[in-house]
Homo-oligomer: A and B are copies of this chain.
Amino acid sequence: MEPRPTAVRPPIHLRIADDIRMQIERGELPPGAAIPTLAEISERWSCGMNSARGAVALLRAQGLITSGRGKAPVVRIPPRRVIRSSERHQIEKDLALKPEAERGAIGEAETNLNMSIGAQRFSSQYDQVEAGPELAKVFGVEPTTLMLRRQWEATDPNTELRLSWSVSHIPLDIVKSNPALLDPNNEPWPGGTQHQLSTVGVEIMKMVDEVTARMPTTVEAQLWGLPEGVPLIFCRRISIDGDGRVIETSDADYPADRTELHFVTPLRPWPKRRQA
């Protein structure tokens, strides 16, 4: 192993990028403001054009400035953040018991996105696939077990960009007694998945959300219209019944620059007589 160098002066382009980042964080360069040109950087930091270009490329990869095609880069204007709260889980469960008119009036997507349902273009795709090794472990089934797979996408008809995307897997055995659940023409189903499951006698008692993040692939970045340097948050929601049986996984991606996931954990009170 090489010894770690101590207090090495970082390359000039890193220092320039950090100086500009701090100007952005302090608000001296507000959203929409042009950052210094390559010539200005070169003069102010006494560096070559390659270092100036390197600094700008780094700020772009960190998601701090726009990647204008030929245009001067500006400090990125953060998009409006959509908050998705785990409190929806109980709301959706309670909705499943409401009359159909009420269930139909409240679509999940309505409250999830900064755009009314009417303005979005929805597509859903149903098919049946084998669980495969990864989902087999989650569901505790054989990898060859047949699953109902449902994929949903919403796009903005003006930009054709993706607004939401998710894919759900349910063991076919759980839902096949109600053939209406296998038909995508019944979308949007009033009350959503929790009501659908109620028609086959399943009640969800616990949701587990598993969250991580990664950089998008080229195709994903194009589909969502993601600027450079913006990760995708990945959330797998696992629905579990009262017997601890995994009923559904629902995988969704969320662009990190426009999404906040909130998870609420109520705590049980301490007993009255404290031992402390």
Picked from B212, B256, B276, the residue with its CB within 8 Å of the CB of A96 is: B276
Question: Could you give, for residues 5-19 of chain A, a 1 whenever the CB lies within 8 Å of some chain B CB and a 0 otherwise?
Answer: 000001000100110
Q: Across the interface, do A206 and B259 meet the contact criterion of CB distance under 8 Å?
A: no
Q: Give the A interface residue count (CB, 8 A).
A: 63
How distant is the Cα of A14 from the Cα of B216 in the complex, in angstroms? 13
Q: For A230, list chain B residues within 8 Å (CB).
A: 214-215
Query: Quick one: given A86-B265, A89-B265, A212-B259, are A21 and B217 in contact (CB under 8 Å)?
Result: yes
Q: Across the interface, do A262 and B210 meet the contact criterion of CB distance under 8 Å?
A: yes
How distant is the Cα of A195 from the Cα of B274 in the complex, in angstroms? 12
Is A101 positioned at the interface, with any CB of B under 8 Å from its CB?
A: no
Q: Can you tell how many copies of this chain the complex includes? A: 2
Picked from B98, B195, B275, the residue with its CB within 8 Å of the CB of A99 is: B275
Residues of chain A from 234 to 267 with CB closer than 8 A to chain B in the complex: 242, 256-257, 259-267
How distant is the Cα of A149 from the Cα of B131 in the complex, in angstroms? 48
Is A146 positioned at the interface, with any CB of B under 8 Å from its CB?
A: no
How distant is the Cα of A36 from the Cα of B63 in the complex, in angstroms? 29
Is A108 positioned at the interface, with any CB of B under 8 Å from its CB?
A: no
Tell me the minimal C-beta distance from A103 to chain B in angstroms. Answer: 9
Q: For A111, list chain B residues within 8 Å (CB).
A: none
Q: Across the interface, do A233 and B212 meet the contact criterion of CB distance under 8 Å?
A: yes
Tell me the minimal C-beta distance from A223 to chain B in angstroms. Answer: 12
